[in-house]
Amino acid sequence: MTLTTQFVTMLAMIGMGSVFGAALDTYNRFLQRTKRKSWLVFINDILFWIVQGLAIFYILFLVNKGELRFYIFIALLCGFAAYQSLFKKMYLRVLEISIRMAISIYRFFVKTLTLLVYKPIQGLIMALIAIAVMLGKGLYSLLKVILRVFWFTLKIVFLPVKWILSLLWKLLPKKIKKTVEKLYNKLAGYLQRIKNYVLKWTAKWKKPKE
């Protein structure tokens, strides 16, 4: 390994030590250990260390083909210490500002979509429902009026027929009247039996089974 390669490796590992410090603070900021379950924190910690190890080894592989030397670990520690002493406070401030800006932008877009998309669609749907209800009520009222007029017209039309039938009924002989009355009573009796039978079976069907 040449001196140039060693020097570049040292600089790269110092930089990765600082990046690791920033990544660790970012990870702790978003993880919020006190609000998470212990097993979830454990799994996240393992994944974090695996990712960081792979990232450091990848940079090392790009710089010196992945050759490990003792000074590499010293360089990582120096980079981490430099971050802790020089850049940590500034980075945490920038991180908090970035998080607040991201939240503000997210809320702005949510409010914008709510005002420009969700609210108009909701208002349109409510208006369509109100119009449909009004039309339904109007049609129902119109149908009631039409049925009343139709029923009244039928009464007027069949009133002469009723008078004629009543007159004919009075002119019929008593024997024919009695025969007709017997047939009417029998038919009414059959209809009543059928109605009672249907009601009986309907009640049994609706009765809950134990």
The pLDDT, as a whole number, for residue 95 is 92
The pLDDT, as a whole number, for residue 206 is 63
Q: Which amino acid belongs to residue 64? A: N
Per-residue pLDDT tens for 54-87? 998 888 888 878 777 888 889 999 999 999 998 8
Per-residue pLDDT tens for 174-203? 777 677 777 777 877 787 888 788 788 877
Per-residue pLDDT tens for 130-168? 999 999 999 989 998 998 888 888 878 777 777 777 776
Per-residue pLDDT tens for 6-55? 788 888 889 999 999 999 999 988 887 777 788 888 898 899 999 998 99
Say if CB 76 and CB 16 are below 8 A apart: yes
Cα separation, 77 vs 13, in Å, equals: 9
CA distances from 86 to 17, 22, 52, 83 (A): 13, 12, 21, 5
The pLDDT, as a whole number, for residue 198 is 79
Say if CB 10 and CB 75 are below 8 A apart: yes
The pLDDT, as a whole number, for residue 111 is 92
The pLDDT, as a whole number, for residue 51 is 92
pLDDT confidence band for 207 (50 / 70 / 90): low
The pLDDT, as a whole number, for residue 172 is 66
The structure's pTM equals 0.56
Percent of the chain with pLDDT over 90: 33
Angle formed by the axes of helices 3-31 and 70-82, nearest 10°: 50
The pLDDT, as a whole number, for residue 65 is 80
Summarize the confidence of residues 100-129 as an average pLDDT: 92
The pLDDT, as a whole number, for residue 177 is 66
The pLDDT, as a whole number, for residue 81 is 93
Say if CB 21 and CB 76 are below 8 A apart: no
Q: Residue 92: name the closest of 31, 21, 36 by CA.
A: 21
